[in-house]
Amino acid sequence: MLDVLEAVGEGNSSPLGFDTAARQGKRIPLACVGILRRGNLQLEKLVSEGCLSGVLLVGCVEDDILKALGEIPWGVWTDSVKAESLAGYREKGCDFVAARPEHLAADTEDDIARFVAVGPDLEDRFLRTIEELPVDGVLLTLEGLRPPITVQHLMVVGALRTMFEKHLLLEVPPGLGEGELAALKNLGVAGIAVELEGLSPRSLKGLGRKIEALAGRQAVQRKGRRPLPYIPSPGRTPFAEEEEEEGEF
């Protein structure tokens, strides 16, 4: 899953097939992770659309589901991530886990990526610690988030994004428009997580095409754009290096 997120960028993208593009080292505009809470009769059809970068399983790590996923990276969203449970998931091929801070073990002696699941109400003093924690990314959930995305939603996501530089996944409804997806990407969201329950293959394919279109859209938007203001990372002093260099003369 980390390889997929590392492949997120503004360069050229392949027509759908986001996971395949990431495996080949090609840039993709935005990762798309499906959330599966129970068996889905259309799972194989959803997977065949090629739009999913990964799948996050919630209490349904079953052999028939894993078989339907094929080579798509999959993870578990759980409230009990201990060393012994991780070992069982890893044997089945688990690539990443997501859990709330109080449920996520600090032991990192394995190759499973870790995402800490947080809400927008987490205090700044805790958010500032994320960059130094033994986690690979953040899964942000905004309760009641429904289209259309408002400026208030963007302000919340943007404020949290300034607190850390690690990968950010945002749980969103599947019906977002291209402009809304572009706004989230511009804030630094690396991927979206959408519920697969009730989602048709046609709807997922439509979402994939909107994501695919972001590469060309952002290439146009970059022309004539004002440079972004410098925002220092938590714990770093802006212009510290420049001051040290001046002191040498």
CATH code of the domain covering residue 82: 3.20.20.70
Whole-number pLDDT of residue 9:
67
The whole-number pLDDT of residue 221 equals: 42
Residue 46: what pLDDT? 92
Q: Which domain holds residue 97?
A: 2-247
Which regions in the chain score pLDDT beneath 70?
9-26, 39-41, 80-84, 108-110, 144, 217-249
CB 172 within 8 A of CB 192: yes
- Both tokens of residue 110? 């394995």
Position 204 scores a pLDDT of 94
Peptide bond into 101 cis (omega under 30): no
Nearest by Cα to 72 from 13, 22, 141: 22
Alpha-carbon gap, residue 27 to 29, rounded angstroms: 7
Q: Give pLDDT tens digits for 90-126.
A: 889 999 999 999 888 787 666 889 999 998 888 889 9
Predicted local distance difference test score (pLDDT) of residue 14: 46
Q: What's the pLDDT score for residue 122?
A: 86
User: How many domains is the chain partitioned into structurally?
Assistant: 1
What pLDDT does 145 receive?
73
Check: CB of residue 26 under 8 Å from CB of residue 13: yes
pTM: 0.79
Tell me what pLDDT residue 230 has. Answer: 34
Is residue 69 within 8 A of residue 95, CB to CB? The reply is no
